[in-house]
Structure 1
Amino acid sequence: MSSPPLRQLALQGAAAILILSLAWPYYGLRGEAMPWLETSLAIGAAALLFATLSRQPWWWRVIHGGFMPLVWFTHTLAIDPGWFLLAAILLLLVYRGALTGQVPLYLSNKQTVQALADLLAERGDSRFLDLGAGVGSTTVPLADALPESHFTGVENAPLTWLAGRLLSVGRPNLAWRWDDLWQARLGDYDVVYAFLSPAPMPRLWEKVQAEMKPGSLFISNSFPVPGATPDRVIEVACSPARPLYCYQR
């Protein structure tokens, strides 16, 4: 079975093939140049139709509908290709998780950090692991607020890892690791926190059940575990809503 990114690429490719297979013979027989603006709009419309028929989320429909028209518009700007290469490298350095695991970069807000600090204070001294820790927006303030607890952040995007590493300097109760979250040993921690996306949650829950010890706590920001009932849901006072789904092991 193909991965979701490949399925989205296949959908866009199907729309392009459909429109071009009709447009090329038509304009070729008429001896006319291909009207690329109209063709790109037609490809976008076909991709939007395919995305709608396949019940894609609304943001994928927007992406599919606008992708080819944006390609045409960008082409008209005659931008040096080197800039696109640079942009691609920077995106990979910052959003590696989105490309390899469908995990975009999310930053926990101050209200969420305070809610986590209150929860950890209830539990007492803890060993806390942040899976996909970004730039340390969760672990750094928690380490400052709870000096008796120990915090570990795991991140695998180079630039965000570097930013978090620099921010963690001078905090002896904070360890910063460049690693794949799937390689993390969850059994070493009392509390495991994740702010990922819906895509990896079923697999992560299997890992949580297999590795976390009785009495430990798994917390997912915003994305509940499919098919599992949380023991507690903390409604964080922020907009948009970012509930914390807590699962006691």
Structure 2
Amino acid sequence: MARGRGVSESTAWLRRRPALVALVAQLGATLVVGVAIHLAAQWGGWRLSWLGAGLVQGLLAASLGQWLGLARWWWWLNLLFVPALLAASGAALPSWVFLAGFVLLLSLNWNSAGERVPLYLSGARCRAGLVELLARREADFRFVDLGCGPAGTLLYLARRFPAAQFVGVETAPLTFAIAWLRCLAQGNCRVRYQSLWRTDLSAFEVVYCFLSPAPMAALWGKARMQMAAGSWLVSNSFEVPGVPAERIVELHDWRRSRLLLWRMGGE
């Protein structure tokens, strides 16, 4: 039991650090491909172009990252990372291209540095679990997604519950812009450029978040001060330290995610 618990904790620790998992996938794939190319050259005289080797490495890194539990959107990053570096190394690219790439990544992951909240995307099973939970509320409930990302989950729920009102808050500039544009045509859904810490939680019956372990204790304190009795705080995967959830919904996905629900006034 102790060993199983240790393995589970190690897996959870890695899942909370996707950049580290991606680095492990990249290094592992590079080692395997490097050894394979060396052996092929020694034994068969067969050589692969640098770009071809990069593509093989990218495919292996992407597959390894998926096996280690990374979100699906990491697949493309792992696939293209080394081929892009190899292509760029052989091309006379202006320096502003690399600056633009840095700014693009920063604008998508602004929260990682300031709020210790990386970009996590809720999966299809999470959405199904949320639908099951929200069906228990009155039809005109008010829902906020703290750190809504590109608003995929927010839009999905808004379409499933047309009588309810949905709000997403996001502070990563490019992510916010994408979410805001996507929600323009959905009448019961809007997105604000706002920190979760400046969001008044008293305006909502359901508060949903998919953050990281770092802010959960502070968020719990904020929720207890602002949320009305009977309202719900729902967290994807991350617990409130020392406060058992009233209900846990296992999602049975490849990330071993779960929804944790706390009812205000019920702790």
TM above 0.5, yes or no, is yes
Contact 2:154 2:166 in 1 (8 A): yes
1:146 is displaced (CA, Å) by 0.5
Q: Aligned equivalents of 1:206 and 1:232: distance in 2?
A: 19
Number of the residue aligned with 2:233: 218
Whole-angstrom distance in 1 between the partners of 2:175 and 2:213:
21
1:83 Cα deviation after fit: 3.1
- Structure 1 gaps, min length 5: 1-56, 67-73
CA distance in 2, matches of 1:209, 1:235: 25
Aligned residue in 2 for 1:153: 168
SS in 1 for 2:152: coil
| Paired position in structure 2 for 1:129 | 144
Runs (5+) with no aligned partner, structure 2: 1-12, 28-84
Structure 2 CA distance for aligned equivalents of residues 215 and 144 of structure 1: 24
Task: Tell me the distance in 2 between the aligned counterparts of 1:85 and 1:170.
Answer: 33
Residue 261 of structure 2 aligns with which residue?
Answer: 246
Residue 123 of structure 1 aligns to a residue whose secondary structure is coil
Q: What is the RMSD computed on CA atoms of the aligned residues?
A: 2.6
TM-score, structure 2 as length reference = 0.64
Distance, in Å, in 2 between the alignment partners of 1:208 and 1:113 is 22
Secondary structure at the aligned position of 1:138 is classed as helix
SS for the counterpart of 1:153 is: strand
User: C-alpha separation between the residues in 1 aligned to 2:21 and 2:180?
Assistant: 37
Instruction: Look up the match of 1:4.
Output: none
> What letter matches 1:143 in structure 2?
A
Q: SS of the residue aligned with 1:234? A: strand
**1:168-202 alpha-carbon deviations (Å, 9 max, x no partner):** 12211112111111000001100000001111111
2:188 aligned to 167, 173, 193, which one? 173
Is it true that 1:91 corresponds to 2:129 in the alignment? no
> Which amino acid counterpart does residue 230 of structure 1 have in structure 2?
A
Closer/same/farther in 2, CA of residues 115 and 63 from structure 1, 3 Å limit: closer
Give, in whole Å, the separation in 2 of the partners of 1:146 and 1:220. 20
- Does structure 1 retain, via aligned residues, the 8 Å contact 2:184–2:190? no
Describe the SS at the equivalent of 1:177: strand
Pick from 224, 228, 232: which aligns with 2:247?
232
Deviations 1:93-131 (A, max 9, x none): 111011211111111112111111111111122100000
In 2, the alpha carbon distance for the partners of 1:171 and 1:83 equals: 35
Amino acid at match of 1:96: W
Q: What is the match of residue 127 of structure 2?
A: 113
Residues 1:201 and 2:198 are matched in the alignment: no
Cα distance change on mapping 1:189 and 1:62 into 2, 3 Å: closer
- Pick the structure with greater CA Rg: 1
Q: CA deviation at 1:81?
A: 3.8
Per the alignment, in what secondary structure is the counterpart of residue 104 of structure 2? helix
In structure 1, C-alpha distance between the alignment counterparts of 2:225 and 2:112, rounded to whole Å: 25
Shift of 1:236: 1.1
Contact residue 109 and residue 137 of structure 1 kept, 8 A? no
- Structure 1 residue 158: deviation in Å? 1.3
| Paired letter, 2:102 | A
Q: How many residues align?
A: 187
Give the structure 1 partner of residue 157 of structure 2: 142
| Deviation, structure 1 residue 211 | 0.8
SS in 2 for 1:170: coil
Q: Please tell me whether the aligned partners of residues 139 and 151 of structure 1 are also in contact (alpha carbons under 8 angstroms).
A: yes
